[in-house]
Chains A and B, each alone.
Chain A
């Protein structure tokens, strides 16, 4: 079988999800046996002019230049995988959308702010069609392998649509609410094996919110533990602000 041509691309992001690829170690060479990585700017100088069987795209869309570039990548790719929270849900870049864009530009760049153009942060599927989603900040490497296998066979991959709590219970963690802190696990999509809670921290919601969150249950938990609802809403913004975007939201430049 001819190895499918794969390209890695990035937009506004920290490139940490691409780095996760290098962290596979020698197993990476096994993966490279079945796919032909033809473009990956972070680690390769080679550039590919043809079409891609699979494009793996990290990062959010935050300016006009990026909109054009992701559209071109989409046109050239049979399959497009949104890779990491910035790509799948807008991620931390979305926090910007809670501010007036001109104000935030002035705050960071002072009187030179006009050089620094930006738009409301968007997840990839808010701009182009996305075929597969690998959630997480950073992505959970075993899930990437699952998605790649699905993509290469042309079968769908369904992102778990139940709460992180399910994995967390299986891992026998003590509930963070019992420890007196506010965790986002009850409404966040599972699939990371409750990575953060296993390591003693809370869930921050980086995989996005389940499609049918148990709002009543969440409110009960918050009431029981005396936690104001605004507290949790502010937390939603850290990764999930972009879900509020409506068509034609006000862009700045």
Chain B
């Protein structure tokens, strides 16, 4: 490279991501000296706070790690709690949990595609200017978002911090009318989803590739695994969720105090693109059609196309929700399964000491919860490893490849390119249970 450029980029508080992060890039005489994503979210110490609390409160508390993925945290927490207790949920419960997870994935992907990523691709600072220039698009986005919220409200009381999904099952089960309402709302969303696909086909994503390892849940059945399965990777790894520590291999990097992860090589990626790369053959036929239309094929190595994978998953989730509800309508709901557990004061659910793990594909990738409980169901140790944490290392490697490729561009263009890259991962930094950094360069 002949470019002898010197650059100091310091983006404080990256916007349009959930949580607080800074990008720091130093280029001296055309060579990259520093390139990192700092997390400046205040740590909240969830794992510490869980100690001494009932495992039946764990879902309620850990849901509050993140407002965007609160249903995902709820489901990972419940899975870990039930695993520790040795409780096996009913088929109906599992089906309803899959539905809930789809609702959140759909909701989160739509939020990201329209409100957080699209402004970049349309060259504006946020969705606000789009209210005038693309009014129909903004209205469609808000309408779809609201529908997701409404179906969640019917199923679990609300989307942000769901109420009725608990360890053991559901405190309230949807009535027949509720199933009908959810079904008609979701079927009503199809035209908007079609329009979303058409819009996405017009967007141009940056051209960039970096070979990396992709990690997601995998399974031997024909279902696109979101709620259950083993952990697999594009490098051929396959492990039980209980071995999550062997998958994440958290380590400290000298230049930052943020914990990073790696598996078979220097970094790995999780999220919609990782799931697509591992499981695309299990997608709903309509989602496969969209993949063909946008030209996404496994293994796709362009991180910017995570947004395209989210679009494909949105179509899959919508269609699979409709399938699940139709099945529930046909089989009928067994209301005897409705449970009131509270803190299990009266021992409705048998309690024993144990160690349980949960691994769930939440919108941004695989999420692990792990609890160790005593014979009274009191949490002794807790651990949560969130998707964004696992992506941080991979994002830095992407940045290190991207910056040299962009050196002939202006500083503003490079900055925007880096911000777009970070935003493509849809990072959820408010889930800051495990990382942070307070390293300010050049200030």
Contact A23 B160 (CB under 8 A): yes
Contacts of B127 in A (CB 8 A): 43-44
**B374 on interface, CB distance cutoff 8 Å:** no
Contacts of B354 in A (CB 8 A): none
| Chain B contact residues: helix, strand, loop or mixed | loop
Contact A25 B146 (CB under 8 A): yes
Contacts of B116 in A (CB 8 A): 43
**A29 on interface, CB distance cutoff 8 Å:** yes
Contact A199 B68 (CB under 8 A): no
Residue in B closest to A196 when the chains form the complex, CB atoms: B163
The one of B44, B126, B161, B338 that contacts A16, using a Cβ cutoff of 8 Å = B161
The one of B16, B67, B343 that contacts A43, using a Cβ cutoff of 8 Å = B16
**A126 on interface, CB distance cutoff 8 Å:** no
Bound: A199/B153 CA distance, A:
10
The one of B13, B57, B163, B341 that contacts A238, using a Cβ cutoff of 8 Å = B57
Contact A23 B145 (CB under 8 A): yes
Contact B18 A15 (CB under 8 A): yes
Contact A202 B43 (CB under 8 A): no
**A245 on interface, CB distance cutoff 8 Å:** no
The one of A12, A26, A42, A44 that contacts B128, using a Cβ cutoff of 8 Å = A44
Among A20, A112, A181, the most chain B Cβ lie within 10 Å of the Cβ of: A181
Residue in A closest to B43 when the chains form the complex, CB atoms: A116
Contacts of A62 in B (CB 8 A): 42-44
Count of B interface residues, CB-CB < 8 Å:
69
Contact B66 A15 (CB under 8 A): yes
The one of A66, A138, A176, A183 that contacts B67, using a Cβ cutoff of 8 Å = A138
Contact B47 A115 (CB under 8 A): no
Binds A, one of B164-172, B183-191, B266-274: B164-172
Interchain nearest-CB distance for A111 vs B (Å): 9
**A18 on interface, CB distance cutoff 8 Å:** yes
Residue in B closest to A138 when the chains form the complex, CB atoms: B160
The one of A23, A43, A196 that contacts B149, using a Cβ cutoff of 8 Å = A23
**B89 on interface, CB distance cutoff 8 Å:** no
Bound: A181/B348 CA distance, A:
11
Contacts of A65 in B (CB 8 A): 42
Proximity string of chain B (42-77) to chain A, C-beta cutoff 8 Å, 1 when within and 0 when not? 111111110101000100110011111010000000
Contacts of A179 in B (CB 8 A): 340
Contact B163 A199 (CB under 8 A): yes
Binds A, one of B228-236, B401-409, B431-439: B431-439
Contacts of A96 in B (CB 8 A): 44-45, 48-49
Bound: A117/B201 CA distance, A:
46
Interchain nearest-CB distance for A170 vs B (Å): 18
Interchain nearest-CB distance for A27 vs B (Å): 8
Contact A15 B67 (CB under 8 A): yes
Interchain nearest-CB distance for A53 vs B (Å): 17
The one of B19, B49, B53, B67 that contacts A17, using a Cβ cutoff of 8 Å = B67
Contact A199 B157 (CB under 8 A): yes
Contacts of B434 in A (CB 8 A): 108
Binds A, one of B135-143, B213-221, B299-307: B135-143
**B15 on interface, CB distance cutoff 8 Å:** yes
Contacts of A42 in B (CB 8 A): 15-18
**A195 on interface, CB distance cutoff 8 Å:** yes
Proximity string of chain A (54-90) to chain B, C-beta cutoff 8 Å, 1 when within and 0 when not? 0000000011011000000000000000000000000
Contact A176 B158 (CB under 8 A): no
The one of B44, B163, B340, B346 that contacts A12, using a Cβ cutoff of 8 Å = B44
Contacts A25-B146, A63-B42; is A107 near B47 (CB within 8 Å)?
Answer: yes
Among B46, B60, B170, B346, the most chain A Cβ lie within 10 Å of the Cβ of: B60
**A211 on interface, CB distance cutoff 8 Å:** no
Contact A25 B48 (CB under 8 A): no
Residue in B closest to A41 when the chains form the complex, CB atoms: B15
Interchain nearest-CB distance for A140 vs B (Å): 9
Bound: A13/B127 CA distance, A:
23
Proximity string of chain A (96-115) to chain B, C-beta cutoff 8 Å, 1 when within and 0 when not? 10110001110111001001
Interchain nearest-CB distance for A248 vs B (Å): 21
**B257 on interface, CB distance cutoff 8 Å:** yes
**B430 on interface, CB distance cutoff 8 Å:** yes
Contacts A179-B340, A181-B345, A199-B171; is A20 near B160 (CB within 8 Å)?
Answer: yes
Contact A44 B126 (CB under 8 A): yes
Contacts of B128 in A (CB 8 A): 32, 37, 44, 46
**B285 on interface, CB distance cutoff 8 Å:** no
Q: Using a CB-CB cutoff of 8 Å, which residues 125-160 of chain A contact chain B?
A: 137-138
**A52 on interface, CB distance cutoff 8 Å:** no
**A227 on interface, CB distance cutoff 8 Å:** yes
Bound: A244/B342 CA distance, A:
25
Interchain nearest-CB distance for B64 vs A (Å): 5
Residue in A closest to B144 when the chains form the complex, CB atoms: A25
Q: Which residues of B contact A (CB under 8 A)?
A: 13, 15-19, 41-49, 51, 53, 57, 60-61, 64-68, 70, 111, 115-116, 119, 125-128, 131, 138-139, 142-143, 145-146, 149, 156-161, 163-164, 166, 170-172, 252, 257, 338, 340-343, 345-346, 430, 433-434, 436-438
Q: Sort A-B residue pairs by CB-CB distance and give the 6 closest, nearest first.
A: A16-B67, A181-B342, A25-B146, A200-B171, A199-B157, A200-B172
- Not counting A108-B43, A195-B158, a sample of 18 additional A-B residue pairs whose C-beta atoms are within 8 angstroms of each other reads A10-B430, A11-B42, A12-B44, A14-B67, A14-B70, A19-B111, A25-B149, A26-B139, A32-B131, A44-B127, A45-B125, A115-B437, A116-B436, A181-B341, A198-B157, A200-B170, A200-B172, A201-B164
